[in-house]
Amino acid sequence: MKDSSIPNYEPYQKLPWGEEVSRLPPASSVLIPNVGKEIALNPDPSTKIEFARQPFPSQAKTISPERTLLGDCLLNKIILSPDDTKAITLACAKAKCSATVLLNSILLLADVEQTLTVLQTDANNQNSPSSSALIEENWQKSEVWCIPANPVDMRSYMYPRYQTAHGQCTSGGIVNLMIPSYHSMDAIRSCLSFRDGKVHRAWYENPTAFWGELLPNTGGLLKVIAKQPPSKYHESIDLAEQVSSMLGTPGLEALLPKPAGIIPSSIGSMERLGLYRDFSPLAQKAKMGTSEEPPFVLPEMGVNLRSHNTPCIVMCIYEYNGSLVVTVQGSKSHQTAEGWEVFGQSVGDGLKHIAESVRTFESRRSEATRAVL
């Protein structure tokens, strides 16, 4: 629709047969060089005790045990107000961290709270004190908590000629590598307490645990992950090629790993990235009421991911029209009703708590300034 206003625009329907195929960019394995040495993860997961997400046989009932093509996906859209979004941005500036680091830390705590809650409910339903004791032991002795997949943008490694030829449209604008991260359980236990089978958000009363321990740990891990070389991307392509050749083999699905947990993905500010600016009321504010006013605008936008039959909770985080949006998606065949509710509440409450804390701090500072004057 936007290109149709360009002079001499030729609609795709008038292209010669096959032309649309020849204009497609090459596969991402061709776009990115196979160079660089792998960056070692820190901490080295092989030397640490990882929290076991399922330390005993589960009898938890998912929302929909039967897998269906329609109606399997779960969606929870958390939209912050412009005021709350500004408060979150100010908090990041004060803490000298990116919004991605802060949001990933909130999502990490939500993942921990959901996992512990579902495990404890399962143990209670089985009337198994030994399982409850196992959860407590697992909680106290583990050294790291694993987030199975963190998307790393590999577009900066593309050959310059392809960047020039295709720009942001190359491979749909997405060339991601998934890397796990292993977070400090000491920092997590400072933020969350687990007693008598219940989780308490201790970081609400002790903000230093979040800002001084968990946040730096998350930021350091994401920095290491972001430095993964393009050769690592080619390793993932080779693995995908090996698995794809076996698709359809009887019993293969049972042999493939089923990562549990979360997959956080952050886009950033749509307007700052130059995306959908023509439709953003915030970006077009100066033109409203003038002859240049756009024909229509979109006050809200939805960006969703595929979540059918995925064992993980997947998230897409972005800012549009002044509001921070956290889209949370999952599968009914892998999530329990209680776990899904707990995760959404933990994320929403955590963001609201930070926003309210920032406003309270700024209000007190203003009052103190007026008192001095």
Please say whether the beta carbons of 177 and 228 come within 8 A.
Answer: yes
To the nearest 10 degrees (0 to 180), the angle between helices 99-125 and 215-226 is 110
3-state secondary structure the chain: CCHHHCCCCCCHHHCCCCHHHHCCCCCHHHHCCCCCCCCCCCCCHHHCCECCCCCCCCCCCCCCCCCCCCCCEEEEEEECCHHHHHHHHHHHHHHCCCHHHHHHHHHHHHHHHHHHHHHHHHHHHCCCHHHHHHHHHHHHHCCEEEEEEEEEECHHHCCHHHHHHHHHHHHHHCCEEEEEEEEEHHHHHHHEEEECCEEEEHHHCCHHHHHHHHHHHHHHHHHHHHCCCHHHHHHHHHHHHHHHCCCCCCCHHHHCCCCCEEEEEEEEECCCCCCCHHHCCCCCHHHCCCCCCCCCCCCCCCCCCCCCCCCEEEEEEEEECCEEEEEEEEECCCCCHHHHHHHHHHHHHHHHHHHHHHHHHHHHHHHHHHHHC
Q: Which long-range contacts (CB under 8 A, 24 or more apart) does 360-368 make?
A: 362/90
pLDDT at 3: 59
- Please, are residues 113 and 350 in contact by the beta-carbon 8 Å criterion? no
Q: Is the peptide bond before 45 cis (omega within 30 degrees of 0)?
A: no
Q: Are strands 323-331 and 312-320 parallel, antiparallel or unpaired?
A: antiparallel
Residue 214 one-letter amino acid: L
Distance between CA atoms of 275 and 268, rounded to whole angstroms? 10
Q: Which of 145-159, 190-204, 296-310 has the lowest mean pLDDT?
A: 296-310
Whole-prediction pTM? 0.87
- What is the pLDDT at residue 166? 62
Distance, in Å, from the CA atom of 285 to the CA atom of 218, rounded to the nearest integer, reads 36
CB 218 within 8 A of CB 228: no
Domains and CATH numbers, the chain: 42-56+69-243+258-372 (3.30.559.30)
**pLDDT score at 23:** 63
Residue 267 has pLDDT above 90, yes or no: no
Q: Give the tens place of pLDDT for each residue, 312-342.
A: 999 999 999 999 999 999 999 999 999 999 9
- State how far the Cα of 19 lies from the Cα of 23, in Å rounded to an integer: 6
- What pLDDT does 283 receive? 85
At residue 258, the pLDDT reads: 72
CA distance readout (Å), 296 to 4, 133, 278, 346? 16, 59, 9, 36
Q: Tell me what pLDDT residue 300 has.
A: 87
The 10s digit of each residue's pLDDT in 206-253 is: 999 999 999 999 999 999 999 989 999 999 888 888 887 787 777 776
Place 273 in a pLDDT band, splitting at 50, 70 and 90: confident
- Between CA 29 and CA 23 the distance in angstroms is 17
Q: Model confidence at 271, in pLDDT bands (50, 70, 90)?
A: confident
Tens of pLDDT, residues 336-352: 999 999 999 999 999 99
pLDDT for 88-102, tens place per residue?
Answer: 999 999 999 999 999
Q: Which residue has the higher pLDDT, 276 or 86?
A: 86
CA-to-CA distance for 322 and 335, rounded, in angstroms? 31
Arithmetic mean of pLDDT over the chain:
87
Residues 161-186 have pLDDT tens digits of 777 766 655 545 568 889 999 999 99
pLDDT band for 68, please (50, 70, 90 cuts): low
Name the residue type at position 151: P
Rg of the Cα trace of the chain? 23
Per-residue confidence (pLDDT) for residue 369, from 0 to 100 = 65
3-state secondary structure 216-261: HHHHHHHHHHHCCCHHHHHHHHHHHHHHHCCCCCCCHHHHCCCCCE
pLDDT of residue 299: 87
pLDDT over 90 (residue 108): yes
Q: What is the pLDDT of residues 11-43, one digit of tens each?
A: 767 777 776 666 666 777 888 899 998 887 777
